[in-house]
Amino acid sequence: MAYEQDVQRLEQIIAALDRRDLDLDAALRLFEEGVERLRAASAALGAAEASVRQLVEQADGSLGLADFNR
């Protein structure tokens, strides 16, 4: 899930920003990337309704998802 990668990258960025040896230019670039990742992660958490599907096997043996109604 992209969310997980965004979160992991955010953790890296924040850890890097906490390092005192970082120059300002690099800090700014990291910050900008962090803001972008944060925006993406927040969007990923946007409202969504958990969908429930059902794994169904077709006559030819292939597998697909169908709505699960019960």
Partner 1 sequence: MTPARGRSSSRLARDAAPDAPDLFAVPPLNTDGAAAAASFAVPVKTTGESAQQAIAVSTLTETAKAVLEGAFTPLWVRGEVSDFKAHRNGHWYFCLRDATAQVRCVVWSRNQRRIPAPPDDGMQVSACGQLSVYAARGDMQFVVTAMEAAGDGLWRKALELSLKRLQADGLTAPERKRRIPAFPRRIAVITSPDGAALRDVMAVVRRRWPLVELVVVPAKVQGEGATEELIAALGRVNRWGGADTVIIGRGGGAREDLWAFNDERVARALAACTAPTISAVGHEVDTTLCDLVADLRAPTPSAAAEAAVPVLADERDHLAVFARNLRQGLTGRAADMRARLELSHRDLRRRGEQLVESRRARLEAVAGRLHALSPLATLARGFAVARGADGEPLTSAHQFSPGLAFALVLRDGRVPSQATGAPELSAPDAATPEPGE
Closest CA to 22 of 11, 33, 30, 12: 30
Pairwise CA distance, residues 10 & 8, whole Å: 5
Whether residue 68 contacts residue 56, with contact meaning beta carbons closer than 8 Å, is answered with: no
* Binding of residue 53 to partner 1 (CB under 8 A): yes
* Binding of residue 60 to partner 1 (CB under 8 A): no
* Binding of residue 29 to partner 1 (CB under 8 A): no
Task: Catalog residues that contact partner 1 under the rule CB under 8 A.
Answer: 1, 3-4, 7, 10-11, 13-14, 17-18, 20, 22, 24, 27-28, 30-31, 34-35, 38, 41-42, 44-45, 47-55, 57, 63, 65, 68, 70
